Structure 1
Amino acid sequence: MPTGKKDFDAIVVGSGPNGLAAAIAMQQQHLSVLLIEGKETIGGGLRTQELTLPGFIHDVCSAIHPLALASPFFKSLPLHDHGLEYIFPPIPAAHPFEDGTEAVLLPGLDKTAKLLGQDQDAYKQLLALLVGSWPKIANDILAPLHLPAHPYLMAQFGWKALSSATSMSKRFITPEAKALWAGMAAHALQPLSNIATSAIALVLLITAHTGGWPLAKGGSQSIAHALASYFVSLGGKIQTNFYVHSMEQLPSAHAILFDITPRQLLQIAGHSLSSLYKWQLNHYRYGMGVYKIDWALAEPIPFIAPH
């Protein structure tokens, strides 16, 4: 760490889950950290608001968090002590068809496979080894590239993960299995013919079969609040309603981290970046747009499918 008196050791601009994690990791090392958020509430995509009618709260972005329990970093944090409680739906996901049939993802691998009829064996052949080895390979899969602790098991995952979701779908013959696979792979937010789109589908299916997909009681904002509460308990500081337009607005610090978009980073700090990095940020290709519809319901949805 450079010498010289500064207001903070580090400043994190943007309080999404990555910004919160970075702030916590540094504060755990007894650094002085300031977390800055432009909006009134912290959390980035971890926000819960009354979007329809009073009393109906909706998650602005994701409501279900398959990696919340799989993340090695999250598992190391005492978030339960800071008010976070998870709820586990008995059915992580379902894909209803117009004729009343459905593809259902259950916590159990065998139970899910049995519902896929002719694709029962194909589904188990794809996932059984990976589900069994998940405790050994999870940390390596969710980490930056490095030498894995279990190379053979990682190779088993990588061989399947590197394929496109389109090519992997050819293992299946039933509409249910194909729909379930495509629904998982769509979370890659890119064409399913692209290389490595199978990786997203595999991780989502494995986590469903090894711990379930939790949602936070009270909404996703509860995760952000728990992270912030833990960060503050370590001595960290948070400032909201502070939208950063330039570096001159920030207190002095030895390091500044940004949990923001490429365009925002160019606006704030473009003058201090290398020409190559500025070129890369200017040519960053944003992914496909995603939207969801929130409803305030007076009664259950009359789905034909039993689940």
Structure 2
Amino acid sequence: MGRAPSRSGRRAGGRQHVSQAVCDIADRRLAEYGEQRIAWAAREMPVTAQIHERFLAERPFDGLRIAGCLHITSETANLALALQAGGAEVTLCASNPLSTQDDVAAALVERAGITVFAIKGESNETYYEHIHRAIDTRPQVTIDDGADLVSTLHSDRRDALDGVVGGCEETTTGVIRLRAMAADGALAYPIMAVNDAATKHFFDNRYGTGQSALDGIIRATNILLAGKTVVVAGYGWCGRGVASRADGLGAHVVVTEVDPLRALEAVMDGFRVMPMADAAAEG
């Protein structure tokens, strides 16, 4: 994959990055470590591995241009590699600059030849510049995490809408934005609400958020949860996951919930349920 020579670029997040004709990443020298990180994640993603092999044989996306505005991490890297195995020309930009793994971005560019516009800690200006550069590839399919790519296509880049045949969105926030656009008759192409899939609620919300929310609190505070009172606001999929994990770590869990059926479920799961005004005094 031909590239223009790299040149020194502006600083983003306090670090020098390279800017090339086909990518904008922090440091391509991080590719080796990024490749190892992607391989490590792949070991925990057997379904994606099976899809990768199937796509490699069937090539369902041969010649299709796909642009994704996603968290640039080792997990989504495996998704991008599966799409590429299916014949797609994949371009990625970051949906959240704070989650970008620069070594993964480097590995995707240097080892896989995937076009990436993502730098950890990039400014708001650079964030939208990267979305525009992804749109410059004239995608036929979009994959979004928050609907910023789709929103930009429908506002500032309507010149690129004609070739888009469909897309998907994986977040609640993004689906709400897109449904509002659809209700107004403004959505120019069909989008699949991946967020509404049952597996998404189970694995992402209940188990993923349930674990990562507590992991973030523990990392930030170094607090011991055993014996503490943890108040969980709401007993939806995320609330169920957080309550279950906190309980497993030895915390006393209190749930607040306005829906009577969910409140009853929380009680049957062994948690105390009370109004937020009362729970706030305990948690």
Higher relative contact order (CA 8 A, sep 6+): 1
**Greater percentage in helix:** 2
Do the structures match in fold with TM over 0.5?
no
If the length of structure 1 is used for normalisation, what is the TM-score? 0.27
